Amino acid sequence: MANKRSLILVLGDQLSLDISSLRDFDPRHDQIIMAEVWEEAHYVSHHQKKIALIFSAMRHFANQLKKQKWPVHYYQYDPDSPYRSLLDVLKSAVKHYSPQQILITHCGEWRLHNAMQTWSKPLATPVHILEDDRFICSLAEFKEWAARRKQLRMEYFYRYIRQKTGLLMEGNSPTGGQWNFDKKNRKSYSNDPPVPPVYQCKPDKITLGVLNDVANYFPEHFGQLKPFWFAVTTEQANAALVHFIEHKLAYFGDFQDAMSSQHDFLFHALISIYLNIGLLDPITTCKMAEHAYQQGKVPLNAVEGFIRQIIGWREYVRGIYWLKMPSYAKENAFNNDRSLPSFYWNAETKMQCMHQCLKSTYEHAYAHHIQRLMVTGNFALLAGITPTEICEWYLAVYADAFEWVELPNTLGMVMHADGGLLGSKPYAASGKYIAKMSDYCKSCHYNVKTLVEDDSCPFNGLYWFFLITHYDTLKSNPRMKLVLSSLQRKSKSEIAKIKQRAQQLLMQLDSL
């Protein structure tokens, strides 16, 4: 394919010179196409910061290519443009450049991938979709791994990838004698040690132009646009990674599950955004963290927890997504049918934990994994929210959300809507968990210590009602036996009061 005149489409999450479609690029004959188009910006109501991040990173990457004298035709966003979709852009480009083939690195969403597979005919040009080998595990390799297993648990996949990469390995054994140090990573945070400031990048002329465009063209979209401090180049993303390793990684392990009303970011890296759009390489990132451990700068539980998120969860959910789509997106094991409460879009709720996490989401297009899983996600699970609605919300509001990573995490891990394919149990919890891992409950309108009173924490009543409602489904799950035995010890009177309180809460979700 390399000796043919190629038109290469580079997407907004493929901002790396190492993508497969650019590997054999010949600037004498080939042409690169990049485009900001209406369809990709609007198929969900993406957070304004997310749009700004991707557009700015795309424009910076295009400039980098041009400095290398690589020909790039860049379509900047224009709401009045006749080119509403990527296909529209390619139709115009094919007429202009008359390529012999079109090359595209495998995209990150079934919606777009499915469309791409039909493009050869309307473009009257062969379209070749190439493997996205920025990932450690190819889709074919994951499929082969999955075929050998009765249960597709992340922990076993993680061990397989550790052995494949050699990260934190001593021969065939894991460094430290165990694969997973998660039990050491569950401390709450009480303002010690001090939290270092988040790494921030000052917007340059290109980014300022993008911010102006987003303010003008997407004012109705969710989220706060400024201040904007995301990295938008590989150099900036690398600097953010170095800052994390030097100042935060040592404490990341201990406090990765903690939540604080005073600190939106605590000791988290905020680099998933940069990994997912191509500004950082996952293996290089993990090796830098591993090197810090080898130098004695960070403890093992911290570096293992960090690496597990990247080569474990990140690779695993991508494999699940492409293995099970498109039917996976329709899974709804608990038959949920309630609509997403309005406070998910405006953070106007008396539940302090929800308010804090939703406020962070609105302001930063970010919330860390426990805020997503055990607060906003946990509430959606307990309230019986339709999986498609909460999945669309997560996809829209987080800067690091692309469907390959968002959908399995939300539908499988958060909502248990796949019936346990991804998670071994529903991650349902009462307010007790939130009180243990945060300071949110100290300033809340509701009382986290009571269950059925009018001012009782909504998580409490909804949690027990969830167990009551789905008892028959959950009783065969060995990981649910202990909590279900607690349910069985409750009297008929207690059960009746729980049901009454929960029904009251469910009837007034928007006003909680």
Residue 174, domain CATH: 1.25.40.80
CATH number for position 87? 3.40.50.620
**In this model, does residue 3 exceed pLDDT 90?**
no
SS3 content of the chain, % helix, strand, coil (to 5): 55, 5, 40
Which structural domain, as residue segments, surrounds residue 183? 139-196+248-324
Burial 84-116 (b: 16+ CB within 10 A, else e): eebbbbbbbbbeebebebbbbbbbbbbebbeeb
Q: Which of 275, 293, 324 is the last residue of a domain?
A: 324
Instruction: Say if CB 275 and CB 283 are below 8 A apart.
Output: no
Paired tokens of 274? 């940069």
**Could you tell me if 305 and 420 lie in one domain?**
no
Are the C-beta atoms of residues 230 and 277 closer than 8 Å to each other?
no
Percent of the chain topping pLDDT 70: 99
Q: Which tokens go with 240? A: 């953010």
For 75, the enclosing helix (H) or strand (E) is: strand 72-75
pLDDT recorded at residue 150? 87
* 83 and 161 assigned to the same domain: no
What's the number of domains the chain is made of? 3
* pLDDT tens digits for range 103-152: 999 999 999 999 999 999 999 999 999 999 999 999 999 999 999 998 89
| pLDDT classification of 239: cutoffs 50, 70, 90 | very high
Q: Is the Cβ–Cβ distance between 462 and 503 less than 8 Å?
A: no
pLDDT tens track for 81-115: 999 999 999 999 999 999 999 999 999 999 999 99
Do residues 355 and 496 both lie within one domain? yes
71 and 150 assigned to the same domain = no
Amino acid letter, 224: Q
> Are 472 and 387 members of one domain?
yes
At residue 4, the pLDDT reads: 76
Domain check: are 430 and 502 in the same one? Answer: yes
Does pLDDT of 2 surpass 70? no
Residue 350 and residue 412 share a domain: yes
Residue 242 domain-assigned (yes or no): no
In a domain, 329, yes or no: no
pLDDT at 112 (0 to 100):
97
Residues 178 and 56 in one domain: no
**Confidence (pTM):** 0.95
Comparing CA positions, the residue from 219, 97, 153 lying closest to residue 413 is 153
Report d(CA 179, CA 5) in Å as an integer. 48
Same domain, 149 and 286: yes
The reply to whether 268 and 395 lie within a common domain is no
The number of helix segments (H) and strand segments (E) in the chain equals 25, 7
Considering the domain architecture, whether residues 189 and 269 belong to the same structural domain is answered as: yes
For residue 471, give the nearest of 459, 461, 457, 485 by alpha carbon: 485
Shared domain for 380 and 507, answered yes or no, is yes
Q: How far apart are CA 183 and CA 56, in angstroms?
A: 39
Asked whether residue 202 is domain-assigned, the answer is no
Give dist(CA 499, CA 474) in Å, integer. Answer: 18
Predicted pLDDT at 1: 45
Could you say which DSSP state residue 194 is in?
A: P
State the pLDDT confidence band at 284, using cuts at 50, 70 and 90: very high
- Rounded to the nearest integer, the mean pLDDT of the chain is 96
Of the candidates 329, 328, 357, the residue with the CA atom closest to the CA atom of residue 343: 357
- HEC readout, 358-378: HHHHHHHCCCCHHHHHHHHHH
